[in-house]
């Protein structure tokens, strides 16, 4: 824990993505955040609130930051690729929302959701106690 805090502080100070030091605990925190942002995004899209879609899409991009490196370091090339695509889709989503381009919002949301599904289908294992782990 100390190590994570120190690494985060260092990352924040240096202005670099703190996920250089992302570990499995950190991944879980990011996933929980991504789950929350996904719910917020769906609500914002349904309510047709451009500003909220942009805000939550940016938060989603933050959750995806560092994922690609995390999986690349574990030699999980497919997961690294989906991570990069999810980050790009989050940014596209924020940009589309700002422009008020509904079609592009839906396209980016579809891409984003596809990355969650593909990676979970391949690399997420549900344990008997209801928690998850990487496989
Ligand atoms: C590149 C792989 C990958 C992508 C992309 C990905 N996930 Fe995950 N996710 C995982 C893995 C592996 C786990 C299991 C380990 C864990 O929980 O940290 C997981 C676990 C989760 C969990 C359970 C967290 C917990 O432990 O309670 C949620 C919720 C979740 N992901 C949501 C999302 C959402 C929403 C997206 C897309 C916006 C997404 N994930 C994209 C790999 C991914």
Q: 105 alpha carbon to ligand 1 midpoint, in Å? A: 22
Any atom of ligand 1 within 6 Å of the Cβ of 70: no
* pLDDT tens readout for residues 10-54: 555 554 444 456 899 999 999 999 999 999 999 999 999 999 999
* pLDDT tens readout for residues 97-109: 999 999 999 999 9
Neighbours of 132 (CB within 10 A): 15
Best residue among 111, 113, 132, 133 to mutate for probing ligand 1, ranked by most atoms within 8 Å of CB: 132
33-37 long-range contacts, Cβ below 8 Å, gap at least 24?
A: 33/59, 33/62, 33/63, 34/60, 34/63, 34/64, 34/116, 37/63
Residue nearest to atom 7 of ligand 1 (CA): 116
CA distances from 85 to 15, 65, 89, 90 (A): 23, 11, 6, 9
* pLDDT tens readout for residues 55-112: 999 999 999 999 999 999 999 999 999 999 999 999 999 999 999 999 999 999 999 9
């Amino acid at each position: 824990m100390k190590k994570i805090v120190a690494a985060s502080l260092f990352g924040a100070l240096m202005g670099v993505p703190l996920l250089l030091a992302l570990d499995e605990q950190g991944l879980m925190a990011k996933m929980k955040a991504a789950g929350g942002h996904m719910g917020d995004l769906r609500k914002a899209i349904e309510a047709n609130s451009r500003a909220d879609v942009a805000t939550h899409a940016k938060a989603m991009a933050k959750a995806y930051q560092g994922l690609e490196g995390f999986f690349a370091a574990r030699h999980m090339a497919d997961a690294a690729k989906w991570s990069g695509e999810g980050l790009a889709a989050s940014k596209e989503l924020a940009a589309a929302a700002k422009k008020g381009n509904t079609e592009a919002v839906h396209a980016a949301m579809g891409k984003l959701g596809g990355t969650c599904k593909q990676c979970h289908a391949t690399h997420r294992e549900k344990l008997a106690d209801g928690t998850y782990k990487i496989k």
